[in-house]
Amino acid sequence: MKILLLGSGAREHALARSLTADPSVDELLAAPGNPGIAQVATLVALDGGAEDPDAVLAAARAHGVDLVVVGPEAPLVAGVADGLVAAGIPCFGPVAAAARLEGSKAFAKEVMAAADVPTAVARVCSTQDEAAAALDELGAPHVVKDDGLAAGKGVVVTTDRDEALAHARACLAKPDGRVVVEEFLDGPEVSLFCLCDGTSVVPLQPAQDFKRVGDGDSGPNTGGMGAYSPLDWAPQGLVDDVVDRIAQPVVDEMARRGTPFTGVLYVGLALTARGPRVIEFNARFGDPETQVVLARLETPLAGVLHAAATGALGALPPLRWSPDAAVTVVVASEGYPAAPATGRPIGGVPADEPDAWVLHAGTRLADGGLVASGGRVLSVVGTGAELATARERAYSVVGRIDLPGGHHRSDIALRAAEGSIEVPAG
């Protein structure tokens, strides 16, 4: 199989590693990629970029690829999958009309209501007065979300009504701006990736992400500072429950609307006293959760993604998983998330080992050396029979990396390893 992978983060580096480890893959192409991805794939130049449907289609045709795997959301929302599907080229990732589950929070809420999926009570507001009324109706802590894509910066959770209203005002000031004001959900968060082929759903193993920049969940939200899997503290039957009550009903509803969902439905959940509630959907793999989920997947990945892209998930044998734990720690640039420094030299990146490796995100080569080019620079993965061992291996590598001004969280997977995470009693 010949595959074209779109994207340039540590998520895509993890996908690239897993795809090239699949014996059915003869060749992996990637665009735009990064220096880490270039170690396992051939980078191809796309004239209009990975978000240009015509450029992706032309490259897929020119290289005769059997499958396109889309990492980030932007190409999906731009309709990259639409062009490929129309041309008969299998694409892992939804068409634009289905990617709206991520692209519009108001649309996701509408689909959840139609499919009777448990989620936070929410009000979609188009004016400041509506937003103010919704804040008062739903009470503190306040949750205010930009309706559209905002690269992880669209959500404010605060007990300060003025701050909530200021965020609503900023979102409403955008052209056609809308905000979603919703009920605060209390309980640990879980990310569950559900592979979908338009009709069937195959769940992967759940992971937990650390969204805030600082230890103890302090500071602003980021794209994600680390993750781990498995979640030994999660309730028995959680995955089946989420498929039965959330993912399958959503996939059925999307098919009923004539916009079947293909690719990965990322279900972001809060485990509340009243059971799992959807916090958000994404139409793509999560970053950094993918780094730990794929570290544990033993079934060759390319066949699985190809099955999802071609309506063949129903015929797939059960996925095989390593019982080992995996932890990933993100090394970020100074100033991330507000104003990440770029151009700083990166030293000390060790060679891969079987139970610890470094994935590239915001890196580029300059004068033969590696330099930081973005906010999240590297994603270090450690594995081990115990979560504590996986943590130690990841942090041991993080300690060897030299990035001036760089920072990371030191408490990724700590509470889980200590056994101190609790799901509120129902």
Q: Does residue 367 contact residue 305 with C-beta atoms inside 8 Å? A: no
- Please tell me what DSSP assigns to residue 287: T
SS3 21: coil
Partner whose footprint covers residue 6, from ligand AMP, ligand GLY, none (CB < 5 to 8 Å by kind): none
Q: Which of ligand GLY, ligand AMP, none does residue 313 bind (CB under 5 to 8 Å by kind)?
A: none
For ligand GLY, the closer CB: 138 or 292 = 292
Contacts with ligand AMP by CB under 6 A: the residue count is 15
Furthest-apart CA atoms within the chain: distance in Å: 58
- Of 283, 210, 279, nearest in space to 242 by CA: 279
Q: Is 312 in the site for ligand AMP (CB under 6 A)?
A: no
Nearest alpha-carbon partner for 23 in 300, 312, 306, 295: 300
Give yes or no for residue 182 binding ligand AMP (CB under 6 A): yes
**Mask 63-102, x = binds ligand AMP (CB under 6 A)?**
----------------------------------------
Rounded Cα–Cα distance for residues 260 and 253 (Å): 8
The answer to whether residue 321 forms part of the interface with ligand AMP (CB under 6 A) is no
Taking contact as CB under 6 A, which single stretch among the options 107-115, 177-185, 232-240, 327-335 is the one that binds ligand AMP?
Answer: 177-185
Give CA–CA dist 314/322, Å, rounded: 22
Of 182 and 289, CB closest to ligand GLY? 289
Minimum Å gap between C-beta 278 and ligand GLY is: 14
For 38, which DSSP code? G
Strands (E), 55-149: 67-70, 91-92, 122-125, 142-146
Shortest distance, position 401 Cβ to ligand AMP, whole Å: 26
Which of ligand AMP, ligand GLY, none does 182 bind, CB closer than 5 to 8 A by kind? ligand AMP
Interface with ligand GLY (CB under 6 A) = 209, 223-224, 282, 286-287, 289
Query: Which of 29, 59, 185, 264 touches ligand AMP by CB under 6 A?
Result: 185
End-to-end alpha carbon distance in the chain: 48
Q: Is 93 left (phi over 0), alpha (psi -120 to 50) or beta?
A: left
Regarding 155 and contact with ligand AMP (CB under 6 A), the answer is yes
**Residue 312 is which amino acid?**
A
Q: How far is the CB of 289 from ligand GLY (least distance, A)?
A: 6
Q: How far is the CB of 286 from ligand GLY (least distance, A)?
A: 3
Q: Which of 113, 79, 70 is nearest to 259 (CA)?
A: 79
Where in 268-297 is the site for ligand AMP (CB under 6 A)? 268, 279-280
What is the C-alpha to C-alpha distance for residues 314 and 305, in angstroms, rounded to an integer?
A: 13
Residues near ligand AMP (CB under 6 A): 120, 143, 145, 155, 157, 182-185, 189, 211, 221, 268, 279-280
